[in-house]
Amino acid sequence: MNNNLINKYDLSVPRYTSYPTAPHFHDGVNGDVYKQWLAELDPKTPLSLYFHIPFCDEMCWFCGCYTKIVKRYDPVKEYLDALLAEVDLVADALPTRFTAKHLHWGGGSPTMLKGEDWMAIMNKLRERFDVADDAEIAVELDPRTATEDYVAELEAAGVNRASIGVQSYEPKVQEAIHRIQPYDMTKEVIGWLRKHSINHINMDLMYGLPHQDTTEIETMIDLTVDLQPNRIALFGYAHVPWMQSHQKMIKDEDLPGAEERWEQFTLAVERLKERGYVQVGFDHFAHPDDNMANAVETGDLHRNFQGYTTDTAPAMLGFGASAIGYLPQGYVQNERPLKSYSQAIYSGVLPAAKGIGLSAEDKLRRDIIEDIMCNLTVDLHARCHEHGANAKDFDEDLAKLEPLIRDGICIVEDGNITVSDDGRPFIRLVASVFDTYFASGVGRHSKAV
């Protein structure tokens, strides 16, 4: 694979953490629809729960997440009260008591919550759900604010996985992104996590940041592997200053161009593989002992709003402002503005603002796209058979794959579409061929690589 393809396919495509993707959600899915969907949920369905905490101490200039900077704890506390009330509203709408197998805290920085508040929310969850004994309880953690006592409080709350935001260890890069986090700080926090039995460690690394170059990327990978995280995510910096105005603080001239980004990405991938990590999809890596590496082997990998996951639950309930969830009937996203979110809850209404119901065709295309994104291959005939559809209906989509086949990105044989190893970085392009909404041009996305 060469730089020509990167220039040729420097396209903006969705990340396919859902299908249809979020820009196609509409306000026809409101609190009443969500309530109805919850009431219809099969009581045997194991649930995943996602909680969004949209607060941070300080803004990192690269940040693309939905968060607000707060200097006092009062707004966090008020938000938490609304979140606890939302748990009651949702649990009341369910037909019975459900088992939760995965709990994920994202943000923002969930570690803005005080230790005693972790206890309050966990107690509320155990009151309203059966939290499975072996449930995964994962928290996105900002190492800059962690102390050993705080880590012990997370352990007491039952947390057993932490995702650590790292980005880069290079001081010049850290300065340019307004996030000073020395390597030794990250190393110390990981030591505390392991000491307190939070043994599942994910690390989030980035390429394409201002001043990053291949030498730094190589060092970053080596230093990271020395810490032996169970999983590593390698995100390309998504520069979307039209959506995140603080990103304007990052100067365009300090950013690597498309070819440099490509070199950084391919170097990182090669180095991670050389050091023994298993590539998952296109931007995740798992230690060979991790169950995600196993899921790659067995074809049990899935994709949701947190990226690649081993979570197989058919329903994820999203709590908190802007949180997205999914049910067998479709996707639901909560109100984004904190005020509208809490107002809905205190009026006794589920704070769903938008979403999308899934048609039979959406469900089939979602499975095809997930197969491509997770397994790098899809058996079109088998998927169509499963959904009672005819593979002939995909002739137009297959024709759109022609240029990608010519460029060695994918192979099509007897209805099996397989992304080549070299084609992995372009996996989103292959998936987008099956996205009927993408053709409509709604939404503006980050670069494919």
Which residues of the chain form contacts with ligand SAM (CB under 6 A)?
A: 62-65, 106-109, 140, 142, 165, 204, 206, 235, 237-238
SS3 content of the chain, % helix, strand, coil (to 5): 45, 20, 35
Site for ligand SF4 in 394-433 (CB under 6 A): none
Q: Is 256 a residue that touches ligand SF4 (CB under 6 A)?
A: no
Residues found in the chain? 449
Q: Is 142 a residue that touches ligand SF4 (CB under 6 A)?
A: yes
Q: Are 129 and 97 in contact (CB under 8 A)?
A: yes
Site for ligand SF4 in 51-80 (CB under 6 A): 56, 59-60, 63, 65, 67
Q: Which is nearer to ligand SF4, 110 or 355 (CB)?
A: 110
Q: Are 245 and 172 in contact (CB under 8 A)?
A: no
Q: Which is nearer to ligand SF4, 64 or 357 (CB)?
A: 64
| Closest distance of CB 109 from ligand SAM, Å | 4
Q: Which does 59 bind (CB under 5 to 8 A by kind): ligand SF4, ligand SAM, none?
A: ligand SF4
Which residues, 6+ apart, have CB-to-CB distance to 23 below 8 Å? 14, 442, 443
Token pair for residue 176? 């340019």
Q: Which does 237 bind (CB under 5 to 8 A by kind): ligand SAM, ligand SF4, none?
A: ligand SAM
Q: Are 258 and 10 in contact (CB under 8 A)?
A: yes
| Closest distance of CB 123 from ligand SAM, Å | 24
Q: Which of residues 107, 110, 236, 425 is near ligand SF4 by CB under 6 A?
A: 107
| Closest distance of CB 239 from ligand SAM, Å | 7
Q: Which is nearer to ligand SF4, 164 or 409 (CB)?
A: 164
CB < 8 Å & 24+ apart, contacts of 180-185: 180/144, 181/143, 181/144, 183/223, 185/143, 185/144
Burial class (CB within 10 angstroms; exposed 0-12, middle 13-18, buried 19+) of 395: exposed
SS3 31: helix
Q: Give the number of residues in contact with ligand SF4, rule: CB under 6 A.
A: 11
| Closest distance of CB 165 from ligand SF4, Å | 5
How many CB atoms are located within 10 Å of the residue 128 CB? 18
End-to-end CA distance of the chain: 13
Paired with 308 in beta bridges are: 303
Q: Which does 238 bind (CB under 5 to 8 A by kind): ligand SAM, ligand SF4, none?
A: ligand SAM
| Closest distance of CB 38 from ligand SAM, Å | 27
Q: Is 112 a residue that touches ligand SF4 (CB under 6 A)?
A: no
Footprint of ligand SF4 on this chain (CB under 6 A)?
56, 59-60, 63, 65, 67, 107-109, 142, 165
